[in-house]
Amino acid sequence: MKKVYIRSNGCIDNLLDGKSYKQYFAENGWEIVQSPAEADLILANTCAFDKQHEDTSVADIEELKKFKNAQLVVTGCLPKINQQRLDQVFDGISFGPKEREKIKDIIGSDREVKWKDQHTIGDDDISELPHRKMVHQVAKLKSRAGRFGKYILPNFEIGELTGDQEAFFLVLGEGCLGNCAYCAIKNAKGGLVSKPIPEVVEEFRQGLAKGFKRFILTADDTGAYGQDIKTDLPTLIEKLLEVEGDYRLNIYHLEPNWLIKYFDYFLKVFDTDKIDVIFSPIQSGSNRILKAMRRPYTVEDYVACIRALREKLPSLKIWNQFIVGFPGETDEDHADSMKVLDQVSFNVVQAFEYSDRPGTTASKMENKTPPDVMAKRLKQIRRKILLKVNLKKLKPIGRAS
């Protein structure tokens, strides 16, 4: 029996894609092994969302190509986002997410390559990702502690919201309708392709039958769901909520323009207590920078939506994100981002440095933010996140809620 070793990094979607490959190899009679030293074929499923993830992917390739016992194949986003850098370290077979059918020729199979058919992330799927392993371990500790778990790291909400333990992922499709100046994911995944509503509802029912209670709706552009098949996200959510059961829905990657567009609907449906987490990343608190990013909304509209949600639904958990140091960002623009944290409250906020992605509009912009300035601003906003978001969750023992 031939053996394959598969390593994935990056976003949840990429980890689930890695599981799809594992399933495909297993269906074709291959054994999935946990060490590249045991393999006949090694599949590196890469990420290149930003330079940090790209660096990790390149380091993986450099490590894995040392195993001369196996053929190395590279897939994921790196081949389509930065082929030039990949060529510097690897001269073998590579293909992107939209070219997954090539795996059939590589292993000599005529079986259909099923896609977006995996829904859970287990410990085996994150064995090479220390940060996710830590989230799993702490979440398990809190769960085992029962009613006393709330006293263990009470500000660990970032792990509980962004972690994948005990969650069932409903991947709504692939690709997006956006055209953000800094993002190269569209180069790898293309335009929007949505799953039909009946297929999503059936997967939801399967998850319920297996005992799952937390369901995460995710995609590259979740808010755009259905625009290519003459439906929309509110219609899908209505169909899901028609299903009875003890469950909660989390909505990831709900871009602010879609939150604003569907806001009246969301304000009503979120009040059902079936939806308890949304991830809607503002990216910048400066309208000038948002325009340069090609993000089609204003800070004022976004803040108004979040404030209204907070007033009506105080228990709703809201996750936000900022990009620091976009080309042309001034001290005033950065200060505007910091002000958003004063205007409304969030349960989780992440911030990371801007990095050029090959071929993007932003990569060709002048007036790049110097690295030292970017680092200083990142430190400032993370300090504010610590004070305004994380430390607020710390409560004396006996008062955790």
Q: C-alpha distances in angstroms, 156 versus 76, 142, 346, 391?
A: 30, 10, 14, 10
Predicted confidence (pLDDT) per residue in 26-83, tens digit: 999 999 999 999 999 999 999 999 999 999 999 999 999 999 999 999 999 999 999 9
In the structure encoding, which two tokens stand for residue 337, read together? 């981002």
CB-based contacts of 224: which residues, under 8 Å, 6+ apart?
A: 176, 177, 178, 192, 233, 255, 258
In the structure encoding, which two tokens stand for residue 68, read together? 């001369």
CB-based contacts of 192: which residues, under 8 Å, 6+ apart?
A: 173, 174, 175, 176, 177, 221, 224, 227, 228
Boundaries of every domain in the chain: 3-107, 123-393
Question: Residue 149 and residue 166: Cα distance in Å, rounded?
Answer: 16
Nearest partner of 24 among 94, 108, 93, judged by Cα? 108
Predicted confidence (pLDDT) per residue in 9-35, tens digit: 988 889 999 999 999 999 999 999 999
Given a cut of 80, is residue 122 above it in pLDDT? Answer: no
Given a cut of 80, is residue 107 above it in pLDDT? Answer: yes
Given a cut of 60, is residue 90 above it in pLDDT? Answer: yes
- For residues 395 and 401, is the Cβ–Cβ distance under 8 A? yes
- Model confidence at 273, in pLDDT bands (50, 70, 90)? confident
The label of the residue with tokens 């976009």 reads: 326
CB-based contacts of 287: which residues, under 8 Å, 6+ apart?
A: 298, 299, 300
pLDDT of residue 12: 86
In whole numbers, what is the pLDDT of the chain averaged over residues? 89
Given a cut of 90, is residue 157 above it in pLDDT? Answer: no
pLDDT of residue 114: 85
- Model confidence at 401, in pLDDT bands (50, 70, 90)? very low
In the structure encoding, which two tokens stand for residue 299, read together? 């800070």
Residues in the chain: 401
pLDDT of residue 220: 95
Given a cut of 80, is residue 345 above it in pLDDT? Answer: yes
The percent of residues in the chain predicted with pLDDT above 70, rounded, is 87
Task: At 197, give phi and psi (nearest 5°).
Answer: -55, -45
Helix 233-241 crosses helix 197-209 at what angle (to 10 degrees)? Answer: 40
Considering the segment(s) 123-393 as one domain, its CATH architecture is Alpha-Beta Horseshoe (3.80)
- Model confidence at 210, in pLDDT bands (50, 70, 90)? very high
Given a cut of 80, is residue 142 above it in pLDDT? Answer: no
Given a cut of 60, is residue 227 above it in pLDDT? Answer: yes
pLDDT of residue 127: 60
At the topology level, CATH places domain 3-107 in: Rossmann fold (3.40.50)
Bigger pLDDT: 298 vs 387: 298
| Equal fold, 3-107 vs 123-393 | no
**Torsion over CA of 47, 327, 336 and 251, rounded to 10 degrees?**
-20
CA within 13 Å, CB half, 28:
23
